[in-house]
């Protein structure tokens, strides 16, 4: 039998999934708690039982989105291999995460753009700042691997900070046009991710 804790965890996950989809569909400002509750198939009271406000839900979705992408990508920074190979592996994992968790990725982007940064309480402002620092740390991992690649000769020497921003900006821009087709297989998604990364990382190859 499921414990009370497991039931609560499942309810929270369903709220986050529904909220991520709603924030992607409508934007933060146009999403209502009522809509999230309706998508979950629950009462508004259940949503407020787990979260104090809509912005707290937004922060929780942002947190989960960052957790998922970091868990998938960052271990690849330290596997054996030259910088180019690790950068390709990380970039591919990043795009696959985007494709498979598209709604969460959209929320992270909304936070980066400041779409939800309205009149925040000090606690919320501090939590958002902490999450933005995590995102900066994530970008720093890419910058480190880029630098490693320049040092080992597998990537050409460029401004590592600029290259990181250009690479991640273009990887993240996939969310502007990508939508999974109903019949699209996992193999097709992986093949598409590989093509995207080949185009973007190819410009950094050592000459």
pLDDT, tens digit, for every residue of 172-201? 989 888 988 888 999 999 999 999 999 999
Of 64, 95, 73, 88, nearest to 172 (Cα)?
95
Q: Are 95 and 171 in contact (CB under 8 A)?
A: yes
Tens digit of pLDDT for each residue in 131-179? 888 889 999 999 999 999 999 999 999 999 999 999 999 999 898 889 8
Indicate yes or no: pTM above 0.75: yes
Q: Are 38 and 48 in contact (CB under 8 A)?
A: no
What distance in Å separates the CA atoms of residue 112 and residue 15, rounded to the nearest whole number? 22
């Amino acid at each position: 039998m499921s414990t009370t804790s497991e039931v609560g965890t499942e309810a929270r996950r369903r709220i986050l999934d529904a909220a991520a989809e709603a924030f992607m569909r409508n934007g933060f400002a146009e999403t209502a708690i009522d809509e999230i509750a309706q998508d979950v198939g629950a009462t508004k009271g259940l949503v407020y039982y787990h979260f104090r406000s809509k912005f707290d839900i937004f922060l929780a979705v942002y947190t989960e989105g960052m957790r998922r992408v970091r868990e998938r990508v960052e271990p690849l920074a330290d596997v054996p291999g030259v910088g180019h190979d690790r950068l390709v592996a990380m970039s591919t994992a990043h795009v696959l995460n985007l494709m498979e968790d598209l709604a969460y990725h959209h929320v992270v982007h909304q936070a980066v753009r400041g779409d939800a940064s309205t009149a925040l309480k000090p606690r919320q402002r501090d939590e958002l700042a902490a999450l933005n620092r995590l995102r900066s740390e994530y970008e720093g991992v890419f910058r480190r691997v880029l630098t490693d690649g320049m040092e080992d000769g597998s990537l050409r020497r460029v401004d590592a900070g600029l290259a990181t921003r250009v690479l991640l900006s273009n990887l993240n821009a996939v969310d502007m046009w990508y939508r999974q087709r109903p019949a699209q297989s996992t193999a097709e998604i992986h093949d598409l991710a590989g093509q995207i990364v080949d185009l973007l990382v190819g410009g950094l190859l050592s000459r």
